[in-house]
Amino acid sequence: MQSPFFKNHLELKAKMVDFHGWEMPIQYSGIIDEHKNVREHVGLFDVSHMGKFKISGNVESQIQNLITNDISKISNNQSIYSPMCNEKGGIIDDIIISKFNSNEFLIVVNSSNIKKDFAWIKNNIKSGEIKDVTNEYALIALQGPKAENILKDAGIEQIENLKAFHFIESKFDGVDCIISRTGYTGEDGFEIFFDSKQVQIWNKLLELGSKYGIKPIGLGARDTLRLEAGLMLYGNDIDETITPLEAPLKWTVKFETEFIGKTVLEQKKVEKKMRGFEINETKRVAREGNKIYDQGKEVGVVTSGSFSPTLGKPIGYCFVPLEYPIGKEIKIGIGDKQYNGKIVSTRFYKR
């Protein structure tokens, strides 16, 4: 499948890859350059491959049953992040639910899970209507410290007053848009939804952002940015064998609500925990599946790893025994060697 901006990526000489069936840009100028540009200036991401479902009707309590977080805590024009669990407490997906009003919601899901999630949600929403609008809506992310300046220059009123995880419905370049103060980078930024036929918005944002140093950003830098910011990648860090209590997502589990998987999560003993790690003695990067060792014994596994352009060293996430504290020295197997590493927080970067 191709995003609405496929031709734009080719014009910008992006290196394209297959990503869960979508032809998407992995990089333009280079991952490290793009990463630093988002941290220091602003970047433009095509994330139209993310799944988008509209749910309408008397469905709020049914959506609550699907998620571990508490949907009653959000008002109209507000969004909430949450895992969606199966009956065993395993994570089916991590999603964002946006509330327009008590009868209208938009759910954004990971592109790898569109069919699975749609079937799961449809099966558990007994009344109300659910529609897959993935191909009807383009989705662009504008991320970095200069993102707000661009939307101000575009004439988006009160954008400076929009709080994190809130959204507005506004016109951008004459096109109806949903502009949400959300992102996947650890920077300030926005995600912009609009009719997928209105492809001119991509170039308009690049034009408006030129004086702020904007660059298009591929999936490669998107991954290193989210890794530094302590954000999970579905399929690597979390999946249906992992619970939110084992991942660093305990804050999203509200046991005072009712949701699928609650009973198991209340009763299941947590024996492993996701931690961050850093490697200081080599520039070699640990990847998913590499092993963690302690005193010669295999004790855990790497779920994500990369070189951190901000910290200048290899970092990643791993599952280790629950009792392993931050600061503990470990060994990380890369190839046929083991390198000295240290357990740290999963949050490597805070703006």
Look up the CATH number of the domain holding residue 321. 2.40.30.110
Residue 24 lies in a domain: yes
pLDDT computed for residue 324 by the predictor: 97
**242 is a domain residue:** no
Task: Judge whether 222 lies within some domain.
Answer: yes
Given this model, what pLDDT does residue 230 score?
98
Is 280 a domain residue? yes
- For residues 91 and 14, membership in a common domain is answered with no
Task: Give me the pLDDT at residue 347, please.
Answer: 98
> Do 109 and 159 fall within a single domain?
no
pLDDT value at position 332?
98
Q: Are residues 40 and 163 in the same domain?
A: yes
User: What's the whole-model pTM score?
Assistant: 0.97
Is residue 86 domain-shared with residue 194, that is, in the same domain?
no
**pLDDT for residue 48:** 98
Residues of the chain falling short of pLDDT 70: none
Domain end: 64, 97, 129, which one? Answer: 129
Residue 228: what pLDDT?
A: 98
CATH label of the domain that carries residue 77: 3.30.70.1400
Q: Are 343 and 180 in contact (CB under 8 A)?
A: no
Q: Note whether 15 and 73 are same-domain residues.
A: no
Are 80 and 102 in the same domain? yes
> What integer pLDDT is reported at residue 141 of this predicted model?
98
d(CA 128, CA 136) in angstroms, rounded, equals 20
27 shares its domain with 168: yes
- Out of 96, 129, 162, a domain closes at 129
Within a domain: 255: no
- How many structural domains does the chain have? 3
H, E, C per residue of the chain: CECCCHHHHHHCCCEEEEECCEEEEEECCCHHHHHHHHHHCCEEEECCCCEEEEEECCCHHHHHHHECCCHHHCCCCEEEEEEEECCCCCEEEEEEEEEEECCEEEEEECHHHHHHHHHHHHHHCCCCEEEECCCCEEEEEEECCCHHHHHHHCCCCCHHHCCCCEEEEEEECCEEEEEECCCCCCCCEEEEEEECCCCHHHHHHHHHHHHHCCEEECHHHHHHHHHHCCCCCECCCECCCCCCCCCCCHHHCCCCCCCCCHHHHHHCCCCEEEEEEEECCCCCCCCCCCEEEECCEEEEEEEEEEEECCCCEEEEEEEEECCCCCCCEEEEEECCEEEEEEEECCCCCCC
Q: What pLDDT, on the 0 to 100 scale, is given for residue 238? A: 98
My answer on whether 21 and 162 are in the same domain is yes
Gyration radius from the chain CA atoms? 20
Question: What does the pLDDT read at residue 287?
Answer: 97
Name the domain boundary from 129, 147, 181.
129
| pLDDT value of residue 300 | 98
CATH number of the domain enclosing 155: 3.30.1360.120
Q: Say whether both 64 and 114 belong to one domain.
A: yes
139 and 43 within one domain = yes
Domain range for residue 26? 6-48+135-228
pLDDT score for 323: 96
Do 148 and 218 lie in one domain? The reply is yes
Asked if residue 222 and residue 166 are part of one domain, the reply reads yes
* 262 within a domain of the structure (yes/no): no
